Chains A and B, each alone.
Chain A
Amino acid sequence: MKKIISLMLALVMVLSVTGCSSEDPSKKSEGVMTYKEYSDAALDSEVVVETYVQAKQGWWQDTATIYTQDGDGAYFLYSMPCSKEDYDKLTTGTKIKVIGHKAEWSGEVEIIDATFEIEKGNYVAEPTDVTSLLSSADLIKKQNMFASFKGLKVEAQADGSAFLYNWDGSGSHDDNSDLYFNVSVGGNTYTFTVESYLCGNDTEVYKAVEGLSVGDTIDAEGFLYWYNGVNPHITKITKK
């Protein structure tokens, strides 16, 4: 009996590993758009995509806001109707089929008024290094993707600090305010954000940004969110 159980367990493990490694995150089911088709689709049109949860911004009033990505590109699902029970099932890597409408809000292209169903499959994206693209018009092609940024220098805010609670310093740690900090690379300066619904004041990245000093050199990871221009939502920083 023990041998049989051991064999079965081994078989399950092998199958699991095979399953993981054979997942093609770009492959689509019948009737589902490729990323290119999604990208080419007009705003306000209906879109059907298969994608994989990469991070969850939050659940609020029976809706979820989620960063997702497949093998070719990323999809930001904004305020998607979702029960708390289903929300809890949407762990990183979970494959979902989403039907919704393509929309744009302050430059951020997203899927709204969506419905979803969980599918079999799992994919966790590796960050794409977009440092060299930061000042490029091509950066928008990577919108919403999980990205990495290398060799950034922390610049001073108007008041001389390394970061602000809220965009103008009106927030605080206790209020779990977003963190805003400026970084420069290649002679250009960019505003990065720790979105507190995504990474709250109890997370490593939040604390790490609170510990930054002007002039620090850092690497960062996060999602290429847009708000009137690129405004990455940072999930990790490493001080060099």
Chain B
Amino acid sequence: MKTSSSICVNVSKAKRLTLLSVLRRTASVIMASVMIIACFTLLSGCHGRRGNDAFVLPESFDASREYEITFWAKNDTNKTQTDIYNKAIKDFEALYPNIHVKIRLYTDYGRIYNDVITNISTNTTPNVCITYPDHIATYMTGANTVVPLDELFADSRYGLGGSEIRFDAPTQSEIVPKFLEECRIGGAHYAIPYMRSTEACYINKTYVEALGYEVPDVLTWDYIWKVSDTATAKNPDGTFAVNGQNVMIPFIYKSTDNMMIQYLAQKDAGYTTSEGDILIFNKDTFDFLYEIKKHVETGAFSTFKISSYPANFLNAGQCIFAIDSTAGSTWMGSKAPLSDIAEEMFVDFETVVRTIPLCDPEDPKMISQGPSICIFNKSDPQEVLASWIFAQYMLTNDVQNAYAETEGYVPVTSKAQKSPEYLDYLSREGEDDKEHYDIKLKATRLLLDNIENTFVTPVFSGSASVRDAAGQMIENVTKSVRRGETVDSSYMEKLEKDITSLYRLDRLKAGSNGSSTSAGDDDGSSPSDATKESFPAASKVLLTILCAVWLLLIAYGIRSFIKKTKK
């Protein structure tokens, strides 16, 4: 980064030129200056004005020094999870008394993403951060911002399960390969998986059977639409026949991003490519939107963003098919240990868990999602190494098992998955309605049984925007139908145009970091993408300087012309 530093000095010098002195020069000199400023500023912007040198793994970890590392973590507003984070830090600090970990907790991936983006410009990123690969792709637009981990993985002393590591860390081969692969961006690993989940359909079996249907082992979209439409029948008094209540939304989807992405994957239809090509506006997408339209019209379908959490409706007997993350399973069912609704609102029913509806039951495809951990680069390689050692600690069996058991998460290492403690946990399904809540354990098993059927979407700078766009189309169609608007081909044309404009999809194209894969959002949050944001500060300064100089040039030219004319 010496180049970058010297460029910054040059830019500073250029800025010190006063406007008057610029005016005194000839136009050619001014133009030359402008070009130099432009080049320097652009180069500076491209290469990260305050970037770090690429991380070089130190020969050994300097344990004689004190380190304070910051860890930005996400929890599902779950006290047990925060307790596990705190215990992990305490246990880690007992092993490494010279490394002090300061945690900052978030409940929303979008907030973490925005705070990281803000802090990249001031070089005040956290050391270790829970994140999604989609977001890392954007972080990587800064030079050497995120540490590539392959060299660290492989190091015999400090790598995964390395000889100098003071705890029983997994080896690289003990991280579930599919999950690790999801952290590969542009040919290198920029994260390690922390937890994995998928989506599940939580079903009120009692109501399904009351409607005259059976719950099949594998759901299809046709089935779920059919039963949902049937469930909208009303009594003469206006209440719903199936529950006798005034409210019934048979089918509620938490993350419409995932809904669209998974449907397209099941149909082998276009979404994006790893090169960043946007293929989402295709026939299958619009066919699906028309299908959704039909079922919004009957009152059979709604979304989290429009109506609220599927769990609240499910548990109150106001929803039959609630699709949410397996990591939300403790909120699902008539005996759910966690709930937002009053006890008296709960309705007693039999809850069953299935995979999301499929287009082809013989070809199941479902999203792989869940948090990963990345490490931000710092000027001190020892600090980065300390961060890596801590990140590795989060993969130990104690942390993996404890955190996974808080929700329907799956540990990301085979070492943890095969541990006697975890196998014992799985074997105790339904022993109680808390730690061994049967719905949570069924949701966990659902993912364990389907790891090979999971997929992730391509990651590139801007892929988070495409994800948002995918869900927004469903949200828009749903809202429009509810509002009595006409949803036809003209509507769809406008929708494509509006969504393209809103998420700037026409400007997206994968950069050098474009590559493999991404996990979806668990929490349905809608982080904005950097591509939606305005120009970087350096570009703004450059443009302002250019405009100002051009104005001065014009003024100078006019003045000279007038002078000459007068003479």
Q: Which residues of A contact B (CB under 8 A)?
A: 44-46, 61, 101, 103, 105-106, 113, 166-172, 174-175, 227-229
Looking at B82, B114, B479, the one whose CB has the most chain A CB atoms below 10 A away is: B82
Question: Once the chains are docked, how many angstroms separate the CA of A44 from the CA of B309?
Answer: 18
- A166 touching B312, Cβ below 8 Å: no
Other-chain residue from B77, B105, B309 in contact with A167 (beta carbon distance below 8 A): B77
Tell me the complex Cα distance, A172–B105, Å.
8
Query: Which residue of chain B is the closest to A46 with respect to CB atoms?
Result: B483
Q: What's the least CB distance linking A82 to chain B, in Å?
A: 15
Q: A175-B106, A227-B340, A228-B341 are in contact. Are A168 and B483 (CB under 8 A)?
A: no
In the complex, chain A residues whose CB is within 8 Å of the CB of B306: 103, 105
Chain A proximity of B73: nearest CB distance (Å): 10
Chain A residues within 8 Å of B81, by CB: 170
Q: Which residues of A contact B564 (CB under 8 A)?
A: none
Considering the complex, give the chain A residue whose CB is closest to the CB of B476. Answer: A113
**Residue B124 interfacial (CB < 8 Å):** no
A61→B464 CA distance, assembly (Å): 15
Partner of B104, one of A45, A61, A175, A227: A175
A105-B307, A174-B104, A229-B342 known, 18 other contacts, Cβ within 8 Å = A44-B483, A61-B526, A101-B479, A106-B308, A106-B309, A106-B312, A166-B79, A166-B107, A167-B77, A168-B77, A168-B78, A169-B79, A170-B75, A171-B77, A171-B107, A175-B106, A227-B340, A228-B341
Contact sample, A vs B, 23 pairs, CB 8 Å cutoff:
A44-B479, A44-B483, A61-B114, A61-B526, A61-B528, A101-B483, A103-B306, A105-B307, A106-B340, A166-B77, A167-B77, A168-B77, A168-B78, A170-B77, A170-B78, A170-B79, A170-B81, A170-B105, A175-B104, A175-B105, A228-B340, A228-B341, A229-B342
Q: Smallest distance from the beta carbon of B420 to chain A beta carbons, Å? A: 29
Chain B residue, CB-CB nearest to A44: B482
For the complex of A and B, 7 pairs with smallest distance between CB atoms? A170-B79, A106-B308, A44-B482, A170-B82, A168-B79, A175-B105, A61-B528
Q: What A residues does B479 contact at CB under 8 A?
A: 44, 101, 113
Chain B residues whose C-beta falls within 8 Å of the C-beta of A171 in the assembled complex: 77, 82, 105, 107
Q: Which residue of B lies closest to A43 (CB)?
A: B482
Rounded to whole Å, the gap between the CB of A117 and the closest CB of chain B is 21
Q: Are A228 and B528 within 8 A (Cβ)?
A: no
Contact with A along B416-445 (1 / 0, CB 8 A): 000000000000000000000000000000
Question: Per-residue 0/1 for B379-400: is the Cβ within 8 Å of any A Cβ (1 yes, 0 no)?
Answer: 0000000000000000000000
Question: What distance in Å separates the Cβ of B117 from its nearest Cβ neighbour in chain A?
Answer: 12
Chain B hits for A229, CB < 8 A: 342
Query: Which of chain B's residues 98-146 have a Cβ closer than 8 Å to chain A?
Result: 104-107, 114
CA distance A166 to B82 in the complex (A): 11
Question: How many angstroms from the CA of A166 to the CA of B105 in the assembled complex?
Answer: 12
Chain A residues in 8 Å Cβ range of B340: 106, 227-228
A164 to chain B, nearest CB (A): 9
CA–CA, A171 to B342, complex, Å? 22
CB of B79 within 8 A of CB of A228, answer no
Q: Is the CB of A228 within 8 A of B342?
A: yes
Q: Are A105 and B308 closer than 8 Å at their CB atoms? A: yes
Interface readout for B301-341 with A: 1 if CB under 8 Å, 0 if not?
00000111100100000000000000000000000000011
Which residue of A is nearest B83, CB measured?
A170
Find the residue from A45, A101, A113, A166 having the highest chain B CB count within 10 A: A166
Q: Which of A167, A175, A229: most chain B Cβ within 10 A?
A: A175
Give the residues in chain B near A106, CB-CB below 8 Å: 308-309, 312, 340
| Bound form: Cα–Cα A60–B337 in Å | 32
Q: Please give, as numbers and ranges, the residues of chain B lying within 8 Å of A105 by CB-CB distance.
A: 306-308
Contacts of B105 in A (CB 8 A): 170-172, 175
**Interchain CA distance A103-B528 in the complex, whole Å:** 23
For the complex, give the distance between the alpha carbons of A101 and B482 in Å: 11
Minimal beta-carbon separation of A114 from chain B (angstroms): 13
- Give chain A residues whose Cβ lies under 8 Å from the Cβ of B484: 44
In the complex, A124→B475 CA distance in Å? 35
In whole angstroms, what is the CA distance A61 to B108 when docked?
14
| Residues of B43-79 contacting chain A, CB below 8 A | 75, 77-79
Kindly state the separation between the CA atoms of A63 and B79 in the bound complex, as whole angstroms. Answer: 30
Given the complex, which residues of A lie within 8 Å of B75, measured CB to CB? 170
Tell me the complex Cα distance, A175–B79, Å: 14
Which chain A residue lies CB-closest to B338?
A168
Complex: A228 Cα to B341 Cα, angstroms: 6
CA distance A166 to B79 in the complex (A): 9
B483 touches which of A45, A61, A169 (Cβ 8 Å): A45
